[in-house]
């Protein structure tokens, strides 16, 4: 059994390029059991690329990626993943519990996920996400926040050791975001979590550590962010609101609460 102090993810000296353009350079990063990590950075900074490496969907040009002591692809059964662009056809007749049951799908046995035991586990996952009352509703009838909870329930139904979420609040309003991250904080009691986000302000009070990715990676293990760090990690462009400007308009240097 994996030791409690052994890393969940261990990335060493990783570099990666798309079509000759460097996306990640000399990245070192370790996630330990029980952590709740926010991965932040500008668009195109390499966040999603690094996430795909943890999932075994991409391989580094140089360096190593180990997940629970194995290659990322070998560790896949122990990972739960909720992607950013989950598009739902509102007319597609699939219910919330059907979506969660897909997490139990055995590719070797077509739709063998519908056993009584699997249905019980799916309902338990929905209950954990406070979605049991919506189990029989079509997924297209749910709000953005409710759908995200269903997709997380689908990821959790396999009892993963690491939950990876890529911009999970993109379709959720501000009030719903606070409730969503509070729910993740509660889940973090039992599962290690990595959330990719562009919005440090929304997530800062819930996480335990921060990884800033902008080609290189700066890992901040304490519950504290400084303006100097943001200035280093976020370039100001015409397309983005610069976080340093936010600092200048009243964002305190200490924006993360101690846990």
Across the chain, which has 259 residues, the per-10-residue mean pLDDT values are: 74 95 96 94 90 95 96 93 71 87 68 74 92 92 88 92 90 81 92 88 85 90 60 48 40 41
**pLDDT at site 39:** 92
DSSP state of 104: G
pTM beyond 0.85: the answer is no
The topology (CATH level 3) of 9-248 is Rossmann fold (3.40.50)
Q: Are 113 and 196 in contact (CB under 8 A)?
A: no
* Tokens (6 digits) for 124: 């338990």
**pLDDT at site 38:** 92
The CA distance from 30 to 211, in Å, is 10
**pLDDT at site 222:** 65
Per-domain boundaries in the chain? 9-248
- The C-alpha angle 202, 206, 211, rounded to 5 degrees, equals 80
Residues in the chain: 259
Q: What mean pLDDT, rounded, does the chain reach?
A: 81
**pLDDT at site 88:** 62
H helices of the chain, in order, are 47-54, 96-101, 116-128, 144-156, 174-187, 200-203, 227-233, 243-248
Q: Are 54 and 67 in contact (CB under 8 A)?
A: yes
**pLDDT at site 86:** 59
User: 197: alpha, beta or left, given left = phi > 0 and alpha = psi -120 to 50?
Assistant: beta
The CA distance from 51 to 74, in Å, is 16
SS3 238: coil
């Amino acid at each position: 059994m994996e030791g409690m102090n052994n890393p969940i993810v261990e990335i060493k000296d990783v570099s990666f390029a798309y079509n000759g353009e460097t996306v990640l350079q000399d990245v070192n990063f370790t996630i330990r059991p029980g952590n709740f990590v926010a991965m932040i950075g500008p668009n195109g900074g390499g966040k999603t690329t690094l996430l795909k490496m943890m999932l075994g969907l991409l391989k580094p040009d140089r360096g190593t990626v180990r997940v629970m002591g194995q290659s990322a692809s070998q560790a896949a059964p122990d990972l739960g993943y909720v992607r950013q662009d989950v598009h739902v056809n509102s007319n597609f007749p699939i219910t919330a519990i059907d979506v969660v049951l897909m997490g139990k799908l055995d590719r070797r046995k077509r739709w063998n996920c519908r056993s009584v035991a699997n249905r019980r586990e799916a309902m338990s996952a929905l209950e954990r996400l406070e979605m049991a009352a919506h189990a029989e509703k079509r997924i297209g009838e749910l709000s953005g926040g409710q759908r995200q909870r269903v997709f997380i329930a689908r990821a959790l139904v396999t009892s993963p050791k690491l939950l990876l979420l890529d911009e999970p609040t993109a379709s959720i309003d501000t009030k719903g975001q606070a409730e969503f991250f509070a729910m993740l904080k509660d889940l973090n009691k039992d599962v290690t979590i990595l959330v990719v986000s562009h919005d440090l302000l929304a997530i800062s009070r819930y996480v335990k550590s921060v990884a800033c990715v902008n080609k290189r990676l700066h890992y901040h293990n304490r519950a504290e962010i400084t303006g100097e760090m943001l200035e280093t990690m976020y370039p100001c462009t015409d397309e983005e609101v610069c976080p340093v400007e936010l600092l200048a308009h009243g964002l305190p240097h200490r924006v993360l609460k101690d846990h």
